[in-house]
Structure 1
Amino acid sequence: MTQPTTPRTDLTARNFPTAEEEALVAHPAGRYAGPESAYRLAFTDTAFLLREELRPVRMQLELLKPEMEQQEQGIQSTIVIFGSARIKPPEQAAEALAAAQAGNDSAALRRAETAVLMSRYYDEARRFAAIVTERSRTLETPIYVVTGGGPGIMEAGNRGAHDVGGKSIGLNIVLPHEQAPNPYITPELCFQFHYFALRKMHFVMRSIALVCFPGGFGTLDELFETMTLIQTGKSRPRPILLFGRAYWEQLIDFQHLVDTGMVGAGDLNLFTYVESAEEAWERLAGFYGFDLPPTQTGEFADDI
């Protein structure tokens, strides 16, 4: 056998072009360049990928893309912040109140006054996210805030991390009325979803805690799905903190569920009420031992 004149050292060189290289050069011409042609590569053919039969493939892509990106960014542990998109920053709520006071619509005035009261939760979410980001930097596994990526409480969470120079994650969803992602998400960690189920799975996969601020149907959906996963043993126990006891107790009569036998008395231990960002952090620090020496903090994020 003839030996090469120059020894080859690239033993791990690719034997085939990458998909990206093929996609860049595989441009059909002439007769097969039209939209009716089936000649284009399957993974570059958007019309093909959007066919009804390709739903399982699209679902797999929505699972893989955020997973791989977060792995590359070193994201192992997260704290999920849920809450209403309708809660305004205090300054915006104050401006709306001033405008309502200048008018003569009593219903609008009541709504504006309520919005001012609720705006305190924006500040608490912002401060809590800043505390998590700041204090977890020295942990063996830093913790990153993840939100639904929209306005309101979601914006406050991403904004708090941004305030202290930290990264945060936004898991947006395509909706008919959806807005653009809030401007405080780390760009390489800002994701968009089509499937609610996969979005909610990503909320839980890396989470070490769920922190729930006042919200509506979407917040309740996310809260109860997480509680169900823990209650049924499908997910390991983790803290669930509900901000604002007065709001939650007026919204949901949890004791009625116990009294009617719909849940066990022990199920009320699945969540804890908190009132401030500092109290929320103290609860988490007590559960995980964040204030113990670094060698005792360990790993706290396992996939469900």
Structure 2
Amino acid sequence: MTDAVPPRRIFPTSRVDARAAEHVPSIPQTESAAYKLAFQDTDFLLREDLRPVRFQLELLKPELLLDEMKVRSTFVFYGSARIPDPAEADALIAAATDDQQRAIAERLKAKSKYYDIARALARLASSAPAEGDGWRNFVVCSGGGPSIMEAANRGAHDVGEETIGLNIVLAHEQLPNPYVTPDLSFQFHYFALRKMHFLLRARAVAVFPGGFGTFDELFELLTLIQTGKVRPLPLLLFGAEFWRKVVDFQALADEGVIALSDLDLIHWCEDPAEAWAFVQAYYED
């Protein structure tokens, strides 16, 4: 009689069977797509009726890998993909070919200060110490692209901390910016799943001037908080001059389509140190 502990599994793992399937002899039956292991059959996984499975995969993959990397919570950055690094702003103006382009380039240059502000705020957030068991909070998370997203990842990179990029497949080529930690660089097909992952671990969100994508992310978050689908969290809105020009928040309350108290969901910011102090005080109460 032996006291040996039996193995936990009695069936071969998927990896074992996947390797075995690579060496199956070639005959008409094994060459058919029907014979492929379902989880290795890309054409099968891309079928229209497999969409629910693909949804689940896009939910699970980042969730499991972020857990393995001990990411407890995130500090999410939203903002334009077009606002330049201040060092590149003059080149944008020089490249303008008419008065309209030049005027736009000058306005983008004026907003280039937010690149530095986002970068500085990301450095501060990345200073949050890890918990005793190694789990980390306020890990900087962006959409993984250029401009404000790059600035956020760059700020974390400046201080040697890991940082997340949630990229998405678009019609035009989009690569992760070079400051995203490779093992925390994710690519999505579904906008819905990407947006869910932005908020699953979020403990603070900073929103900078931006276009349609930024509006989408900002107003979805405001709606989720307003309706109680997401617990309140620090929502930092940078660039009051920009936002009050393009959205009249007060008018929404005056017209009665939102409550006056809904305006309190937003904390207006311009200074990264003040913003980080606000977040810290929010969780100390």
Common fold: TM-score over 0.5: yes
CA distance in 1, matches of 2:262, 2:13: 52
Structure 1 segment 152-301 matched on structure 2, within 5 A: 152-289=147-284
Specify the SS of the correspondent of 2:35.
coil
Partner SS for 2:161: coil
Q: CA 1:184/1:9 → structure 2, altered by over 3 Å: closer, same or farther?
A: same
**Contact residue 84 and residue 153 of structure 1 kept, 8 A:** yes
CA contact (8 A) 1:211 1:242 kept: yes
Give the structure 2 partner of residue 52 of structure 1: 48
Partner of 2:102: 109
**How far off is 1:138 after superposition?**
5.5
Deviations for 1:67-112, whole angstroms, at most 9, x for unmatched residues? 0000001011111100001111111112223444xx7x32232222
Distance in structure 2 (CA, Å) of the matches to 1:188 and 1:8: 41
The structure 2 residue matched to 1:126, chosen from 105, 115, 119, is 119
How far the C-alpha of 1:64 sits from its partner, in A, is 0.3
Is 2:33 aligned against 1:30? Answer: no
The answer to whether residue 133 in structure 2 is matched with residue 137 in structure 1 is: no
Shift of 1:279: 1.6
Q: Which amino acid aligns with 2:106?
A: E
Question: What amino acid maps onto 2:57 in structure 1?
Answer: L
Residue 147 (structure 1) aligned with residue 136 (structure 2):
no
1:81 is aligned to 77
Question: In structure 1, what is the Cα distance between the partners aligned to 2:30 and 2:86?
Answer: 55
SS of match in other structure, 1:210: strand
Larger Rg: 1
- Residue 67 of structure 1 corresponds to 63
Q: CA shift at 1:13, angstroms?
A: 4.1
* TM-score normalised by structure 2 residue count: 0.93
In 2: Cα distance, 1:185 partner to 1:9 partner: 46
In 2, distance between residues paired with 1:254 and 1:148?
A: 25
Query: What is the number of equivalent residue pairs in this alignment?
Result: 280
TM-score (norm 1): 0.88
User: SS where residue 80 of structure 2 aligns?
Assistant: coil
Question: After TM superposition, where is structure 1 displaced by more than 6 Å over at least 4 residues in a row?
Answer: none
Q: 1:14 aligns with which of 3, 9, 13?
A: 9
In structure 1, how many angstroms separate the alpha carbons of the residues matched to 2:130 and 2:189? 35
1:40 and 2:40 are equivalent in the alignment: no
Q: Distance in 1 between matches of 2:173 and 2:152?
A: 18
Q: Distance in 1 between matches of 2:16 and 2:7?
A: 18
Conservation of the 8 A alpha-carbon contact between 1:137 and 1:143: no
Instruction: Give the Cα separation in 1 of the matches to 2:88 and 2:109.
Output: 9
3-state DSSP of counterpart to 1:273: strand
The residue type paired with residue 36 of structure 2 is: R
Deviation at 1:8, TM superposition (A): 5.4
CA-to-partner distance for each residue in 1:198-236, whole Å, 9 max, x for gaps?
Answer: 111111110011110000010010011111111001111
Mapped partners of 1:13, 1:98: distance in 2: 66
Q: Distance in 1 between matches of 2:29 and 2:85?
A: 55
Alignment CA distance shift 1:181-1:44 (3 Å)? same
Aligned equivalents of 1:115, 1:32: Cα separation in 2: 61
Conserved? CA contact 1:133–1:145, under 8 Å: yes
Percent sequence identity over aligned pairs: 52
On the 8 A contact 2:33/2:41 being kept in 1, the answer is no
Whichever residue aligns with residue 32 of structure 1, its letter is Q
